[in-house]
A and B are shown apart, each in its own frame.
Chain A
Amino acid sequence: MTETIEFILDIFVIVFLITGTFFVLSASIGVIRFPDVYTRLHASTKAATLGIAGIMIGAFIFLYAEHGIVSGKLILGIIFVLLTAPVSAHMIGRAAHSSGVKPWSHDGKTRDAYADSLAEKKQQ
């Protein structure tokens, strides 16, 4: 009975670790493949957040199943990554925009409502 439970927990650990590493890998490939700062931020914030969360959940289940440790640090780590990733992405995006990075566009016409509204304000 305990063996089957351990087997199931092992499968959970494997699934979480593989999905986590897959998302982190996709995030890094996205950072290389996407054309500009903003699209790269898309990849690095979202996929990396879920990837790190997956790896940490996998480690949490592993520690609990093998050693019987309930690791609060890993849960705290997930919460802080979830809280800080969107905020840091917002700050990097804003800094990039205010230092004059234009969004990439497939046909060369940039569609940028923020720059338009800033220009309008300057005219007034």
Chain B
Amino acid sequence: MALQIILNLVIAIMWMFLAETYSVVSFLKGFIIGALLLFMLRRFIPDAFYLTRVWKMIKLVLLFIKELLISNIDIVKWVYKPHKDYKPGIFALPTELKSNWEITMLTSLISLTPGTLSVSVSNTNDTIYIHAMDIDTTEEAIEAIKTTFEDAIMEVTR
């Protein structure tokens, strides 16, 4: 992955020197040409083509923004409800992710999903404790969402 990024940057800078225009536009042109070359020569370069991983990262960010929007509408509904008819509580959610980086991503994603807020991670890194605004409905909903989050994170990190 690092090798491919360096190759792509070198091709972009070489393109800048060959075209003899030292601007952002010509750098971007060179970058696109380098990406195309790397894509065509992907069978001869170690590791998978790196822009697919970048694309998955962008998808993860889009998922993040989508969940943020949904959760905001939810929280505003709760703010303006006249009665306190929600049932908050803390529940445990087992996770299959291992490294610190992955668990940080998952807890941040969970904190921004509707009605949930990660409170703590167990010492063995296998359970996340989540505070929910409405524990009965969200506990099932989050079980369903969790796998899509975990898959999206694993595609980026592994």
Contact = CB atoms under 8 A, between A and B. Distances in A.
B131 A93 contact: yes
A46 B112 contact: yes
Nearest to B133: A42
* Majority SS at the chain B contact face: mixed
Nearest to B92: A113
B134 to A, nearest CB: 10
A26 B79 CA distance: 7
B108 interface: yes
Interface residues of A, number: 41
A89 to B, nearest CB: 6
Contacts, number: 118
Interface stretch (B11-19, B33-41, B82-90, B141-149): B82-90
B5 interface: no
B117 A89 contact: yes
A97 B89 CA distance: 12
12 contacts: A30-B79, A45-B111, A50-B69, A85-B111, A90-B107, A106-B85, A106-B87, A111-B89, A113-B89, A114-B120, A115-B90, A117-B122
B43 to A, nearest CB: 36
B117 A45 contact: yes
A114 B71 CA distance: 23
A116 B92 CA distance: 10
